[in-house]
Amino acid sequence: MTGLSRDAFSDTVKHYRKLHDDGETSSDERKGAYSTLVNQYYDLVTDFYEFGWGDSFHFAPRFKHEKFRDSLKRHERFLARKLRLYPGMKAMDLGCGVGGPMRYIASHTGAHVTGVNANGYQISKGRKHNEKAGLSHRCEFVESDFMALPFEENSFDAAYGIEATCHAPDRVALFEGVKRVLKPGAYFAVYEWCLTDNYVASDAEHRRIKKEIEEGDGLPDLAHTSEVDQAFVDAGFEVVETRDLAGDGDPETPWYLSLTGGDMSLSSLPRTPIGRTLTNGTLAIAEKLKLVPEGTKQVSDFLNAAADALVAGGERKIFTPMYFVLAKVPE
């Protein structure tokens, strides 16, 4: 599991927990240690994610008539359409995970997609998925921190980031780097994890939900939607469109439905409270029997706490994982 040795896994769990312990580490220190924080997080959770989610690690608005996977693909098509991608274009996927969205967007639009990801374990898995899908010539992984993009100026016709730029310690610096490698007139679109206007910083319950989302999802500090807007402006982009998509979809099927068990099926089981409890119990026994490394149950615990916090944030409408921004490099 995870490509880490047993000891490295256990040490990584301890170090990761410490980074999120407010008694030990401040939010500024977490931002300073973002690279370790995010990488350790994805070393620990990628297998859990693939088990529960498949190869696209994001949310989507949900409709009653539509299966979970179809909703993810629709959400990916929405971005591709907004970016006006077509065959022959060169696009960049910031924080591409194991490449589910990249493979779908490349095959759906005919564009070439370069996925940037700092996590070597995800890239090694993603390259195998590309080969299996016969898409290695159209989808390329580059192992790099997206805060220091290793590309020439004006290299790309478009860029996007799906629930990934929320990991950045400094959005303005990140967006400036993206603007540098985009051509004039190119579009850049993101789905951002954000706090909404309903978030009240003086409310202890709201603060607890924010903290559990951060710890369980490897984030240094969640930003408000207005901070994301401002970061695009400060980085020199023209903001074309901004919208929280969390209210799209059917009211009875909110974006966090799959975490509540509201769309129960065999394939959705690992994401539901029952499935998560079963996985948690199995891992606790496996850890006692030394079948999995020490700390595995702790990872499952903080992922569960985060899943509950995401539902609580969604129900209270204080948090969204789909704040959509479309921006353009000035001509």
Ligand X SMILES: C[S@@+](CC[C@H](N)C(=O)[O-])C[C@H]1O[C@@H](n2cnc3c(N)ncnc32)[C@H](O)[C@@H]1O
Residues of this chain that bind ligand X (CB under 6 A) = 38, 42, 56-58, 95-97, 100-101, 116-119, 122, 145-147, 162-164, 167
Task: Name the residue nearer to ligand X (CB basis): 38 or 307.
Answer: 38
Q: Which residue has the tokens 């400094």?
A: 170
Closest CB to ligand X among residues 47, 203: 47
Return the number of the residue (38 or 257) whose C-beta is nearest ligand X. Answer: 38
The CA distance from 300 to 153, in Å, is 42
Q: How far does CA 175 lie from the centroid of its chain?
A: 17
Tell me the C-alpha distance between 188 and 172, whole Å: 14
Nearer to ligand X, 4 or 264 (CB): 4
CA angle 156, 160, 165 (to 5 degrees): 120
In this structure, what token pair is assigned to residue 233? 């402006």
Distance between CA atoms of residues 45 and 254, nearest Å: 24
Q: At residue 10, what is the residue type?
A: S
CB of 281 to ligand X, least distance (A): 26
Rounded least distance, CB 139 to ligand X, Å: 13
If the CB atoms of residues 77 and 282 are measured against ligand X, the closer one turns out to be 77
Minimum distance, C-beta of residue 180 to ligand X, in the bound complex (Å): 16
Per DSSP bridges, beta strands 139-143 and 223-224 are unpaired
Beta strand segments in the chain, E: 90-94, 112-117, 139-143, 156-162, 182-195, 223-224, 238-244, 319-328
Q: What minimum distance in Å lies between the beta carbon of 330 and ligand X? A: 25
Rounded least distance, CB 38 to ligand X, Å: 4
**Closer to ligand X by Cβ: residue 19 or 96:** 96
Q: CB-wise, 13 or 37, nearer to ligand X?
A: 37
Give the nearest distance from C-beta 102 to ligand X in angstroms.
8
* Cβ atoms of residues 181 and 152 within 8 Å: yes
Least distance CB 149 / ligand X (angstroms): 9
Min. distance of Cβ 284 from ligand X in angstroms?
Answer: 26
Give me the DSSP letters along 132-178. Answer: HHT-TTTEEEEE--TTS--S-TT-EEEEEEES-GGG-S-HHHHHHHH
- Cα–Cα dist 254/300, whole Å: 24
Distances from the Cα of 258 to the Cαs of 65, 249, 274, in angstroms? 14, 14, 12
Specify the residue, 227 or 287, whose C-beta has the smaller distance to ligand X: 227
Q: In the bound complex, what is the minimum distance in angstroms from residue 52's beta carbon to ligand X?
A: 12
CA 4/CA 121 separation, integer angstroms? 9
* Cβ(239)–Cβ(327) below 8 Å: yes
**Tokens at residue 323, please?**
């704040």
Q: Of 69 and 287, which has the nearer Cβ to ligand X?
A: 69
One-letter identity of residue 268 = S
Quick one: angle between helices 225-234 and 171-181, nearest 10? 40
What tokens were used for 172?
Answer: 């303005």
**Position of minimal CB gap to ligand X:** 95
